C-alpha cells in the first residue's frame, strides 16, 4: 500500500530532536497521507446540492445478470480458448549505422534493442506454445505473458520459416490448453473468431482481444503481394477470414464456434497496413504436424519426391496460370517419383484427395506430405489416366553423409539429386547444410550455399573443403568461392590456429 501512496517517503532526521518534535512530524505525515479531522465549519461542510429535477434524471442501470440471449456461441467459444492465449514479447539487437566520425576516432558502431510483440497459444499444459516463426525471427530474448500479466522466459524449441510456425517452451505446469480442431472439415461461411494482441504496445493490459467473422475461403494460395507476414513471399493452402487480423495478432488462434482452434493467424493482405477483411491463417492440421516435428527433432523433415515442374508459359492474362496444369519437366534419378514410374511430360492431376490445377496446388500438396508416407497419385499421360504410388522420402542432403568443418559448419557433397532438386548451376561442390550464426556473420556462408573453390583448388566434395581449410589454417588467407541463388561470389577469411 505504501508503494501506491502519492506521498514521498519520510526522511530520517540528521540530528537528535526533542520527543515532541518527532511526534509532531509523525502527526503531520499522517494528516498529509490520510487526511485529518476537519473542524465543523461552513467552509468545510457546504450544503449538499439540491436533487436533480425529474426531467434531468436517467433510467436506472439494468440488472447485472447475463441473459441467455447474450451468451452466444461466440461468447462460449472464446471462454474455452482465451485463457490459453498468451502474449509473445521479443527483444532483438540491431546494429546502428556507422558514423564516419566514429570510425575516425576509433569508436565502434553501437547497437540498439528493438522490442517486438505477437501472440501465441498453449497446446500442452507443461508450457508448449505455438506461434509464428516471423514473431520470434532474430530475437535474442523471448518471453511469454499470460492474460493475468504473469511473465515467463521462453526458449525457442524450433522454427520453420517455410510454414511460418515456431514452438516455444516455458517452465510452467498445469496451464490452460487450447482445444485443437480439424481444419479439414471447415465450412465456408461458418463463424470464425480471431484472438490476439492487435497493436499490443498500444493496449494497456495483457488480456487478448477478440474479433469475429466467417471462413471466407479455404485452400488459398498467395503468391507475391499477399503472402507472408510482410505482404510478400508466398503462402499456400491458407484459410481466408474476414475476422479482423492486425499487427500483433500474428501467431494467435483462429477458432470455430465450438471453441476449437482451426488455424494460426499469420498474415493479411492490405493496401493500408491495417485489416481490410482479408486475413489468412495456417490450417491447424498442418500446424500440429509441424509442431510435432519441431518438438521431436528441433526441425521439420521436408518431403521429397524428386519432381521438377515445367514453368508455365506467360500469357497476357495472369489468371491463365490458375488452370495451367501441373506438367512434369524432370524426374530426379533414383527419386521416389522415378521409382513410382512417373515420367517427364506427365500431367499431375491428383495427389491423395487433392485435385491439382496449377503449380501452386502442387506446392500446397507438398506441405501436407511427410517422409515415409505412401501417397496415391493420378497422372494423365498421352490421353489416358495412370495411377501411381509415391513413397515420400527425406531431402537427399538429409540422408547424405555430413562433414563438419570448424565445428560450426556442416557440409554435404553435391550429388545429382541435390543439384536437380535445388536447381543449382554447379556440377560439383560442397553444399552448406548447416552454419552457425557466427559463421554466417563472420565468414558470410549460409545454408544452401555451394562451395565450389578454395583459393585455386576446385572443390568436388565436402572432404575437399575440410582438407583445404586444415592446410591453409594458420598460414595464408583463404578465399572461398561459392554459388548462392544462381550467382557466384567469394569471401575472404583468415583462420588462426
Query: What positions carry a catalytic annotation?
Result: 134, 164, 250
Euclidean distance between CA atoms 107 and 207, whole angstroms? 44
Cell representation of residue 99: 558514423
Which of 314, 353, 308 lies closest to 326, judged by CA?
308
The most distant pair of C-alpha atoms in the chain lies apart, rounded to whole Å, by 111
Task: Give the angle 318-320-325 at the CA atoms, nearest 5°.
Answer: 130
The number of C-alpha atoms within 13 Å of 192 and in the hemisphere containing its C-beta is 33
- Can you give the three-state secondary structure of 8-25, one letter per residue? CCCCCCCCCCCHHHHHHH
Cell representation of residue 466: 575440410
Which of 228, 244, 231 lies closest to 195, judged by CA?
244
- Phi, psi (degrees; rounded to nearest 5) at 283: -55, 140
- DSSP letters along 53-91, please? PGGGPPPPPPPSSPPTTTS-HHHHHHHHHGGGEEEEEEE
Strand partners, 457: 454
| Contact of 234 with 247, CB cutoff 8 Å | no
- Phi, psi (degrees; rounded to nearest 5) at 241: -140, 155
Report CA-CA distances (Å) from 10 to 3, 14, 27: 13, 13, 12
Phi/psi zone of residue 377: left (φ > 0), alpha (ψ -120 to 50 degrees), beta?
A: beta
| Contact of 414 with 424, CB cutoff 8 Å | yes
Which of 353, 330, 356, 466 lies closest to 404, judged by CA?
466
| Contact of 294 with 167, CB cutoff 8 Å | yes
Within a 10 A sphere around the Cβ of 200, how many other Cβ atoms?
A: 23
Euclidean distance between CA atoms 233 and 164, whole angstroms? 11
**Sign of the torsion formed by the C-alpha atoms of 152, 157, 158 and 164:** negative
Beta strands in 273-326, from DSSP E residues, in sequence order? 279-283, 303-304, 307-309
Amino acid at each position: 500500500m505504501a508503494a501506491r501512496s502519492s506521498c514521498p517517503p519520510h526522511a530520517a532526521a540528521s540530528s537528535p530532536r526533542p520527543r515532541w518534535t518527532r511526534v509532531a512530524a509523525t502527526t503531520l505525515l499522517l494528516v498529509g497521507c490520510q487526511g485529518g479531522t476537519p473542524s465543523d465549519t461552513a467552509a468545510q461542510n457546504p450544503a449538499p446540492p439540491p436533487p436533480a429535477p425529474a426531467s434531468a434524471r436517467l433510467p436506472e442501470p439494468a440488472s447485472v445478470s447475463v441473459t441467455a440471449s447474450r451468451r452466444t456461441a461466440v461468447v462460449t467459444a472464446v471462454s474455452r480458448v482465451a485463457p490459453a492465449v498468451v502474449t509473445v514479447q521479443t527483444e532483438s539487437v540491431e546494429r546502428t549505422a556507422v558514423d564516419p566520425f566514429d570510425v575516425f576516432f576509433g569508436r565502434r558502431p553501437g547497437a540498439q534493442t528493438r522490442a517486438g510483440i505477437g501472440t501465441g497459444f498453449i497446446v500442452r499444459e507443461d508450457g508448449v506454445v505455438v506461434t509464428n516463426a516471423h514473431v520470434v525471427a532474430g530475437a535474442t530474448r523471448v518471453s511469454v505473458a499470460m492474460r493475468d500479466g504473469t511473465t515467463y522466459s521462453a526458449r525457442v524449441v524450433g522454427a520453420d520459416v517455410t510454414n511460418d510456425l515456431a514452438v516455444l517452451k516455458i517452465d510452467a505446469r498445469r496451464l490452460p490448453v487450447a482445444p485443437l480442431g480439424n481444419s479439414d472439415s471447415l465450412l465456408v461461411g461458418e463463424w470464425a473468431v480471431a484472438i490476439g494482441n492487435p497493436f499490443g504496445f498500444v493496449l494497456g493490459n495483457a488480456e487478448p482481444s477478440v474479433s469475429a467473422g466467417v471462413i471466407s475461403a479455404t485452400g488459398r494460395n498467395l503468391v507475391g503481394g499477399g503472402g507472408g507476414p510482410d505482404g510478400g513471399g508466398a503462402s499456400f493452402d491458407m484459410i481466408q477470414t474476414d475476422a479482423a487480423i492486425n499487427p500483433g495478432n500474428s501467431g494467435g488462434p483462429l477458432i470455430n464456434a465450438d471453441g476449437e482452434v482451426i488455424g494460426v493467424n499469420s498474415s493479411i493482405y492490405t493496401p493500408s497496413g491495417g485489416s481490410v477483411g482479408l486475413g489468412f491463417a495456417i490450417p491447424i492440421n498442418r500446424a500440429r504436424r509441424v509442431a510435432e516435428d519441431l518438438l521431436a527433432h528441433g526441425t521439420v523433415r521436408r518431403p521429397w519426391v524428386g519432381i521438377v515442374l515445367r514453368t508455365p508459359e506467360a500469357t497476357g492474362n495472369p489468371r491463365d496460370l490458375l488452370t495451367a496444369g501441373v506438367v512434369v519437366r524432370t524426374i530426379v534419378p533414383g527419386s521416389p517419383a522415378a521409382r513410382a514410374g512417373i515420367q517427364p511430360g506427365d500431367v499431375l492431376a491428383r495427389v491423395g484427395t487433392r485435385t491439382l490445377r496449377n503449380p501452386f496446388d502442387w506446392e500446397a500438396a507438398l506441405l501436407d506430405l511427410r517422409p515415409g508416407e505412401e501417397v496415391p497419385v493420378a497422372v494423365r499421360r498421352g490421353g489416358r489416366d495412370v495411377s501411381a504410388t509415391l513413397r515420400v522420402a527425406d531431402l537427399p542432403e538429409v540422408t547424405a553423409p555430413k562433414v563438419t568443418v570448424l565445428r560450426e559448419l556442416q557440409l554435404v557433397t553435391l550429388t545429382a539429386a541435390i543439384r536437380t532438386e535445388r536447381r543449382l548451376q554447379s556440377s560439383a561442390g560442397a553444399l552448406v547444410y548447416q552454419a552457425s550464426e557466427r559463421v554466417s556473420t563472420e565468414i558470410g556462408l549460409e545454408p544452401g550455399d555451394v562451395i565450389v573453390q578454395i583459393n585455386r583448388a576446385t572443390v568436388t566434395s565436402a572432404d575437399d573443403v575440410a582438407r583445404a581449410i586444415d592446410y591453409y589454417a594458420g598460414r595464408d588467407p583463404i578465399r572461398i568461392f561459392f554459388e548462392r541463388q544462381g550467382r557466384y561470389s567469394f569471401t575472404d577469411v583468415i583462420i588462426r590456429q
